[in-house]
Structure 1
């Protein structure tokens, strides 16, 4: 399926460009943040930065086999970490808040970020960007809930064409994602700034920060 491979390659190139640009800005804007907590993240990303003296990663996935001494890895719920208020210079998350559950769950996640960090960085895709980034389908995420089905995933998205998911796999993925709008992010993170990452003139994703 060469056409599928080409599209995925283009998507990876575009995604890589934005990740590198985001990382450059992160290491400049937050260079004075030495104690970092990453909610839902991975250790590998922080190996590409040099400003954090110690990084605490909270995730529901098992810890990697070899963990550098500058990291603490906690298997736990990022919506309720148990750390003290303002315990970290930076509370960070990248493409996580759209996966934590309902809007109430997202409120808890945002509140925890604001509580933990003297500064905050939260990146997430824009609901109103026409390409859904997990399914690589055009406007499929704008369908009413019951219409966004296994059939739509399997036959109307690149995810479906490439991976041929079962009905159960489609439903699980659909139910695991709740994309947010800019207005909702302003509601979740009062007093924070929002940067828009644009592709072809349209806001593809947002970075909420303070």
Structure 2
């Protein structure tokens, strides 16, 4: 039951954000588009159904196979490296949705960092580099990420207070809830607040996605 509610809630939010993107950014049909971390490409296809020059870049070879076979997209398998495998300004537009909060370093390392300060330093270093790569490879971009202080934390669907707990306790709680809770995750994410988003994307305009009057996610758009 909760899983179905979460899926409908997330789908509706993605649809609203997609409609906002289309209203905000005017992309010609021949635009070269990079869907960074786009998985199967289903999301970008729903938002931009008539664009054809789309390259999906992801760490999942299986998802990329679906993107090629179902939607005819080009695909690039992404490794955990510091640099994206594209030339400068190779794309007219980069779409990156609910990805940057996970770009916190090699997963096998960061999930075991129990120190709040150490995790924050490592995570923000990698996220800033990732943001720089987006600006390097694309002339314009859309980067969306869940807001740090929304009442429901999006990766666990637990009360948002979990983001305020010491990291050591966060890790323990996630491990505990992963045993029986419908929403499972690994503690590799660092959510953005407004200040971090504006500092990470100084050449973009930052928008709030609101739900019931509260900020649900942040969107950095360079048009």
Alpha-carbon distance in 2 for matches of 1:119, 1:147? 39
Higher-strand-fraction structure: 1
- Tell me if 1:22 matches 2:24: no
Number of the residue aligned with 1:47: 45
- Tell me if 1:32 matches 2:28: yes
Contact 1:123 1:206 (C-alpha < 8 Å) held by counterparts:
yes
- Gap runs ≥5 in structure 2: 105-122
Number of the residue aligned with 1:193: 205
Which moves more between the two structures, 80-89 or 28-37?
28-37
Number of the residue aligned with 2:96: 93
Matches within 5 A, 1:161-200: 161-163=180-182, 173-174=186-187, 176-200=188-212
- Tell me if 1:106 matches 2:130: no
Alpha-carbon distance in 2 for matches of 1:191, 1:66? 30
Q: What TM-score comes out, normalization by structure 2 length? A: 0.78
Q: 1:88-110, CA deviations, whole angstroms, 9 ceiling, x for partnerless residues?
A: 11011000001111111101110
- The count of aligned residue pairs is 195
- Tell me if 1:123 matches 2:144: yes
Contact 1:154 1:164 (C-alpha < 8 Å) held by counterparts:
no
Alpha-carbon distance in 2 for matches of 1:73, 1:117? 16
Alpha-carbon distance in 2 for matches of 1:79, 1:55? 22
User: Which of 53, 57, 72 is the matching residue for 2:74?
Assistant: 72
State the secondary structure of the residue aligned to 2:181.
Answer: helix
Across the aligned residues of Structure 1 and Structure 2, the Cα RMSD in angstroms comes to 2.4
Number of the residue aligned with 1:82: 85
Q: What TM-score comes out, normalization by structure 1 length? A: 0.82
Alpha-carbon distance in 1 for matches of 2:149, 2:195? 11
State the secondary structure of the residue aligned to 1:112.
Answer: helix
After TM superposition, the runs of 4+ consecutive aligned structure 1 residues lying more than 4 A away are: none
Question: Cα distance 1:182–1:79, how it changes in 2: closer, same or farther (>3 A)?
Answer: farther
Alpha-carbon distance in 1 for matches of 2:129, 2:140? 17
Alpha-carbon distance in 2 for matches of 1:160, 1:94? 27
- Gap runs ≥5 in structure 1: none
